Amino acid sequence: MKIKRTVKIILMTLVITFLILYISCSTGYYEVENNKKAKLTDEALKRYEQDLKEGKQIDLNNYIPEDKSYVNNVVKLTSGVSRGIEKSMNTVMKYIFKEMEKAVKENNN
């Protein structure tokens, strides 16, 4: 009985962790940040227009802000954990549905 309870606790912890990580990734935070990179800020647009009026050589890199990378070991670790949980959950769910299918077939016979 202790083993079943321990397994249930571990599985529930994995499911909750997976859901939290999945929701945080799917909220669109990274997509919004990437969309911001594609747009020129008002300040950069004004500088571009001024440089264009003055006849200066135009280089797009002068108007796009530097990209800060927030990737660190914690992000790499949590992403790896998330992928591992996702694979595990996929395997567990396939097993559960396969067993359910067997049980349904046995009841129908």
- Angle between the 2-26 and 73-108 helix axes, to the nearest 10 degrees? 120
Q: Are 79 and 17 in contact (CB under 8 A)?
A: no
Per-residue confidence (pLDDT) for residue 29, from 0 to 100: 67
- Tell me what the mean pLDDT of segment 50-75 comes to: 79
Distance between CA 27 and CA 98 in Å, rounded?
31
The tokens 């227009």 sit on which residue? 49
Per-residue confidence (pLDDT) for residue 91, from 0 to 100: 92
pLDDT bucket at 3, cuts 50 / 70 / 90: confident
56 has a pLDDT exceeding 70: yes
pTM over 0.75: no
90 vs 42, more confident = 90
Distance between CA 46 and CA 63 in Å, rounded?
10
Per-residue confidence (pLDDT) for residue 106, from 0 to 100: 84
Which residue type occupies 51? D
